Structure 1
Amino acid sequence: MVASPLPSLILGSTSRYRRELLQRLRLPFESVSPQVDETPLPGETPAALALRLALAKARAVSRLHPNAVVIGSDQVADVDGEPVGKPGTHERAVAQLRRMSGQTIVFQTAVAVVRADTGFEATELAPVKVRFRTLDDAEIEHYLRLEQPYDCAGSAKCETLGIALLSAIESDDPTALVGLPLIRTCALLRSAGLDPLMGAR
């Protein structure tokens, strides 16, 4: 009996952080921009926003590639129940870090997997609690000038110098804070019919 070929895998994101994380699984994949409006809905919680956008991204790409297994992901910083996304500018990043100084923030990282040809779709949420040190303006300014993390929710890259802004991270999925929770992603891929371990090259 000949084993059926593995379905193709697509990451519904052009984020270099998510691409680098998915490369750890040693699965062949391509990245496709999902073209999804990321505006929060009125009254939408950060967790609900992250889940909705992750699924919307996976569905958008899946419509173009119905025979592929598509991963969508999104991350929203939860600051006192208010969604905080990518700052985009230096000034917004300063404001974000000032607001988060000395606080515990929950980064809501969601992942979705969609496979249109079988009707499979599922989502998972990987919340990460992050405790920020009390930061002074000089530290914030120096960090932002060095790293320019304007494409990161919450303005901090924990995988590089941003770790020095923090006093603790609590998570059961260690890559979630970087942008793609790989433990949950692997579980969803297996459910969709693509075993990461057996498909690795």
Structure 2
Amino acid sequence: MTWILVLGLALLVLAVLVFALKVPRGAREAVASALLLGIAGYVTQGSPGLAGAPKEGREAISSDPTAMVEARAKVTNSGIPPNNRWVVIADGLARNGQFADAAEVLRGAVETNPKNAEAWLAMANALVAHAENTLTPASLYAYRRAIAADPDAPGPPFFLGLAYAQEGRLGEARALWADLVARAPEKAAWRAPLAAQLQRLDAAIAAQKRESVSVQGELPLP
């Protein structure tokens, strides 16, 4: 009986998303697959007959798929969580590691509103995560569209700089972060942590230069 209720609830949620919230046609398969995956997980791991056993929550770590979603909510000047329904749905998918599905939902969002900077940024992050922290042409395009849609938003240059840093393109990362720190509001909660991160980046760049000079000094003369 429990499984029938779970399946009925999933179908009800899907109907609300499609008919009430008007999920774009291209994103419906992604949403449906997410619901089916949730049902499959409940069927294989759920134990409705057992008593609940609440456990103390643990801090998110960098390898957790939710970390990028939570970080995006912190690097902002608005202080208001995103309320765009496509971004909310995509964030739920991303938290479960379904980055390709999240990007597909967000594609529908930016097709509806090409100036939705939050959706472009969430899409870029999802594409980078889907590519195992690799900055692909598609994710770079999404970051640039996010910057163009809202030039004052700190999120797009921050995460693009992070993607550059992960690829070893430290100079490009520094240029973005230095400009971001320079124009950050004094009371912005993310300003001090970013300034500290910029100092660590400068130290890494200096270490690279010292290593390069050392290697050049060891090369034999022609």
TM-score (norm. length: structure 2)? 0.27
More helix by share: 2
TM-score (norm. length: structure 1)? 0.29
More strand by share: 1
> Highest CA radius of gyration, 1 or 2?
2
